[in-house]
Chains A and B, each alone.
Chain A
Amino acid sequence: QVQLQESGPGLVKPSGTLSLTCTVSGGSISSSHWWGWIRQPPGKRLEWIGYIYYSGSTHYNPSLKSRVTMSVDTSMNQFSLKLSSVTALDTAVYYCARKGALAVAGIEYWGQGTLVTVSS
């Protein structure tokens, strides 16, 4: 059973960079799946941030693309998210996730989520 666990600071200052890591267990990050980040501001809808493949290929949400960088570390079975120039609007629960193997698959596995607050 694949499990995902987010880690990183729970508080980030405005204009700073949000950095999160997702550790994958029970499966290899080098499998034929896309790995991704989704966030949810308190009381609001889910918002997709982007996907990364183990090769490093990425797809980003156009609305966040200019501020997002994702990377993968196959040796550690981890992938990461960096979101720059954050504001209070970036305060949210951030989930890491794994998409199913098919191109048209849904998101099969989710981490438990981690709350990141942007505040001085």
Chain B
Amino acid sequence: SYELTQPLSVSVALGQTARVTCGGINIGNKNVHWYQQKPGQAPVLVIYRDTNRPSGIPERFSGSNSGNAATLTISRAQAGDEADYYCQVGDNNIVVFGGGTKLTVL
């Protein structure tokens, strides 16, 4: 089965840029979605199909995908961005989530 690998944690200074990676074999050929999950809350879709932002998601959130890694980039990080972030792909009608990355804003 297809596997997605994320770092357990990423730290970023307030106002700086955070990058969360999601590794997978030839993931650049797949559509990657990213979710933000704050404690005690349901996940929220922040990036879909690699680079697209749903309505209501700040422009500070962006995504890229190439080769064996997809990246979620959060510019001008704010305290409210502190959360767990999950990548997700669909692979032959099966949904696969990454292990999640805890983003800490210092």
Which residues on A are within 8 Å of B, measured CB to CB? Answer: 36, 38, 45-48, 51, 59, 61-62, 95, 100, 102-108, 110-113
Contacts and interface: CB of A to CB of B under 8 A. Distances in A.
B99 interface: yes
A65 B60 CA distance: 39
7 contacts: A36-B95, A45-B97, A45-B100, A46-B37, A95-B42, A106-B35, A107-B88
Classify the secondary structure of B's interface with A.
Answer: strand
Contacts, number: 57
A106 B86 contact: no
Interface in B43-85: 43-45, 48-49, 54
A51 B94 CA distance: 9
Given A110-B43, A113-B42, A104 B90 contact: yes
A107 to B, nearest CB: 6
Contacts of B1: 62
A51 B54 CA distance: 22
Residue from the set A45, A48, A105, A106 with the largest chain B CB neighbour count within 10 Å: A106
Interface string B13-54: 000000000000000000101010100011111001100001
